[in-house]
Amino acid sequence: MSKENILKEFALFSLGGDGIGAWLTENTDEEVFRRLDRIDLEPLSKVQLNQLLVFGNEAPVSDDFFRYYWLEAPSEHPYPVSKLPGFLEPWLNSNTIQSLEHLKWGLYRLFTDGLLYFGNVRTAYRNLRDLTRTELAAFFTRKRFDTAAIKQRGPALPMKAIAKNDRYLISEMACKSFGDRPETPGEMRNALLQAYQAHIAKGGRGITWRELISAQLPATYSSRQDEFLFSSDEIIEDTITSQTDFDTKIDKVAKTFFAARDAALTNTRYYLSMVSELDVYVATSMRNRQDFRNMATFCEKVFGDEKLKDLQLRYFDPTLSAAAGHEDKGLIECLMVKCARVLVYSAGEKESYGKDAEAAMALSLGKPVVFYCDQEKRSRFYRDVHPLSRLIEFDTGVAVGAMVTDSVGDVTALLHRLFENKMEYELEQLKPGHLRLKETLTQSVVRVQTSDRMLAETFWNHYHNRGLNARKEAGV
């Protein structure tokens, strides 16, 4: 194969600049191309590969690195390397690189690992090329989910049941309306009673709760109209015909509220008791009763799927949990995001600072994040380049992207792939030197490597320069 054709074949791995991404370019020593042209007739040994790497101004690799990347499909790797493009089973029975496709497969693995775990290919190569088989296995085993241990845990304590139609009552708005305890009721009852009595005093007759709240509230409570409408949803279209009728209906809703709230507070204690083994945190924003129903159904569909049955995943269902106050709620949810292995973000009708902050926190911790939204929102997400689509893992500097889908089935499939270590990836280079790693099911970009050399060099020269920052802060 000619030099021109070889360069076309390996264009995905030609990044320019320095490092392994510059091994095969127009400027590479002709000896490299002459030897690769004969690879089908004369398979490439590790010794000869190292010679070609040196001809291309790159450092050689260890025996174990060569075997790991070209002659094995290691079971301890965080994803099935045999699923990467071009793989052929016979390669695993050889001691040499058999073809250009074989060579490309090993480079594909290296580049994928580089983007996933180092943020750039050059750093990955420099860190991995000298490692022993034991060191390589140890490094990549740490990147896996311990699927066997997850499956062997057994079930957690069951959550307290709350009827799907009643879950809206665990919200902060309902708590403000009804109060913390039956003996210390909130202000909604008093406000609506004043409104009803004023309505009767004016000669009014039967009136619906919606009409009472929308048009009759005392001025003191006018700012809480939406809160009272939300909290009265169960009876909102019912007509009040008497004081007794008023008392009976609002007492019924209050009784349901306190039962739901007590169960939700208990569930939060259960969540805290297993936070060290929390698998999935579900982030969402629920603004009305139907949102709570939809969210409960979403969790049932995703986590009740047969694919996830064996995993017995511990997941946080936001329709089953409440806190004593919004400050405690914030602490609890931040802790669960920090401890959960994966975050699922379910988009609602409107954006919410809370769920956006939770998703941003998870991405910044390097956790897999799955965005679920309808088709229109998904299109807008990509068109407008949502700021949460790429963030930096604070500890490593790796650019982490969310996986976005409009399919509940995709959410389940992604969770299955993640926890079974069966994620599938593909590389693309849309412009010279700019690499993107995509998750194949949703075609979401989960990692990037910029082609802007100044940005790349500045980023990596300064991102981990903690010593310099510390000296500057100390005034040294």
Residues 25-50: b if buried by 16+ CB within 10 A, e if exposed:
eeebeeebbebbbebeeeebebeebb
Closest residue by Cα to residue 466 from 394, 404, 412, 418: 394
Contact 188, 231 (CB under 8 A): yes
Stretches in the chain below the pLDDT threshold 70: 350-351, 377-389, 466-476
Q: In the CATH scheme, what is the code of domain 277-420?
A: 3.40.50.450
Cβ contact 229:213 at 8 Å: yes
Beta bridge partners of 426: 438
Residue intervals in the chain for CATH 3.40.50.450: 277-420
Q: Which residue has the tokens 């700019």?
A: 434
- Residue 22 · residue 16 · CB < 8 Å: yes
Dihedral of alpha carbons 194, 198, 200, 205, sign? negative
Q: What is the pLDDT of residue 470?
A: 46
Q: Is the dihedral of CA 426, 430, 436, 440 positive or negative?
A: negative
Alpha-carbon distances of 475 from 461, 462, 472, rounded to whole Å: 21, 18, 5
H/E stretch holding 195: helix 188-201
Q: How many residues appear in the chain?
A: 476
Half-sphere exposure of 32 (CA within 13 A, CB side): 24
At 361-396, the pLDDT tens digits run 999 999 999 999 887 766 566 545 565 567 889 999
Contact between 143 and 237 (Cβ < 8 Å): no
Distance CA 239, CA 204 (A): 12
Q: Which residues pair with 429 in a beta bridge?
A: 435
